[in-house]
Copies of this chain bind each other. A is one copy, B any other.
Amino acid sequence: MNLLLLRRDELDRALPAADPRARHLRTVLRRAIGDDFDLGVIDGPRGKGRVTALPEDGSVAFAATLSAEPPPLAPLQLVIGLPRPQTARKILQECTALGVGALHFVATGRAEPGYAQSTLWSSGEWREHLVEGAQQAFCTRLPAVTSGRPLAAVLADLHADGLRLALDNYEAAAGLAELALPAAPAAAGLALGPERGWDAGDRAALRAAGFTLVHLGPRVLRLETAAVAAVAILKARLGWL
């Protein structure tokens, strides 16, 4: 928790004792009255908090001074075959920390229907992983997230004139590291198959939507490792890091 993120309506009241951010300020950062800490408003400015009171009930009262908004997120939209919830949690957190603009977890031909029904999605837990990733990265901006929509529907909604790449271990002709890329695309869409891979229908939909199939070399990576590696390489190649 490098940056303590709050909703705007939380700025003018104390953090309750049970709030993990209050506990973090008291027991990890060990802030005393008068001490400063880094805070940010979700999807708003960063700034400083100053502890104004540490009541015996365990709450933390503070005053906020807001400064500049962080730069926008990279115009990079990920399209990911819906994975098991534990994998989705890692991807939500790590790809938010890496600053992607959107994460779409889609239903594909080989999707496991149960994954879309996970409480990760229905309870709103997914949003906690975004906040955690943003706090880690010292950023207030959260990516847009959808889950469970069909692949074709998400592809139809992507930025119209962006670069479009899909990772595929089986039918890719070029490596993500070697493929010639446009100098300054307006946006980029990067698709990663589910753990069981794309099926023929998924590949046809991706190709029809203008996606080029690329690979990360002969080594087979877990989805969460491939996501971080591919986002890092693509952002590096486009000057978006």
**Residues of A that sit less than 8 Å from B by CB:** 2, 94, 97-99, 136-139, 175-178, 216-222, 225, 228-233, 235-237, 239, 241
Set B177, B222, B231: member contacting A241, Cβ < 8 A: B177
Q: Smallest distance from the beta carbon of A100 to chain B beta carbons, Å?
A: 11
A228-B230 Cα distance, complex, nearest whole Å: 10
CB of B176 within 8 A of CB of A236, answer yes
For the complex, what is the distance from the CA of A143 to the CA of B220, rounded to whole Å? Answer: 16
A-B pairs with lowest CB-CB distance, top 3: A177-B236, A229-B232, A217-B241
Question: From A225, which residue of chain B is reached at the shortest CB distance?
Answer: B94
Is the pair A136, B220 in contact by a Cβ cutoff of 8 Å? Answer: yes
Say how far A171's CB is from chain B's closest CB, in angstroms: 17
B219 A139 Cβ-Cβ under 8 A: yes
* A175 surroundings in chain B (CB, below 8 A): 241
Cα distance A221–B132 in the bound complex, in angstroms: 11
Among B136, B137, B178, B233, contact of A233 (Cβ-Cβ < 8 Å): B233
Known A177-B236, A228-B229; further 7 A-B contacts with Cβ < 8 A: A97-B219, A137-B221, A138-B220, A139-B219, A176-B236, A177-B235, A228-B228
Determine the chain B residues whose CB is within 8 A of the CB of A218 once the complex forms: 138
Given known pairs A217-B241, A229-B228, A232-B228, the reply for A222 and B176 (CB within 8 Å) is no
